[in-house]
Amino acid sequence: MYTEQDYQDICAQERRRWIALLIPCALLFCGVIACFGWREQINQWLGAPASSETAQHLALGLTALAGVVFVFCQGVFISPVLCYRRHLDGVLHQRTRQTTGAFKQMELAPVTRDGVRFYPFLINVGKMTDEEDDRLFFWDVTLPIPNWQPGQKITVTAHDKALGAWEYAES
């Protein structure tokens, strides 16, 4: 399902997004520094008296704008990639477990878990009629849904409950 290349790609995408966010924020902070360094020239340029606090107000506005840009972009553009990178790191590099059972059902209504969207599905490790034998796992919505039939034996490899790999089990 996942490869090391997938992990490297998402890490590179995260780095590109951080750079794209930090460049405008750095430019805004350069404007803040300029407001303090060239206070009199900025006040003159804006038509305010040299002793006024117009440059300080401009610096305050640029600082607030940088904060808003950072918080908004981090939440909208970086956080989803960061969550998906953590997911891939978990299924590829951290502790996983294998479970073999009969496929029971998959919900096609996505759920969000740890910032990643999944389809929940059940496999049964005992009697299909006994709900205590059901095990819940999560299938990544960005991957094509497998054509599992109810009762079909599969072996899943999962980190926590997020699926990292699967294969058909021998009956």
| Cβ contacts of 110 within 8 Å, gap of 6 or more | 117, 118, 119, 141
Contact 20, 81 (CB under 8 A): no
Mean pLDDT of the chain: 92
Architecture of domain 97-168: Beta Barrel (2.40)
Give Cα 48 distance to the centre of its chain: 46
Q: Output the pTM of the full model.
A: 0.84
Q: Write out pLDDT tens, residues 105-115.
A: 999 999 999 99
The neighbouring-strand residues paired with 123 are: 103, 135
Which residue type occupies 118?
A: F
Q: Looking at residues 126-154, what average pLDDT do you find?
A: 94
Q: Write out pLDDT tens, residues 9-35.
A: 999 999 999 999 999 999 999 988 888
In which band, very low, low, confident or very high, does the pLDDT at 48 lie, cut at 50, 70 and 90?
A: low
Contact 123, 67 (CB under 8 A): no
Contact 115, 83 (CB under 8 A): yes
57 vs 122, more confident: 122
103 vs 46, more confident: 103
38 vs 136, more confident: 136
In which band, very low, low, confident or very high, does the pLDDT at 50 lie, cut at 50, 70 and 90?
A: low
Please tell me the predicted confidence (pLDDT) of residue 37.
79
Q: Write out pLDDT tens, residues 52-87.
A: 677 788 888 999 999 999 999 999 999 999 999 999
pLDDT at 120 over 90: yes
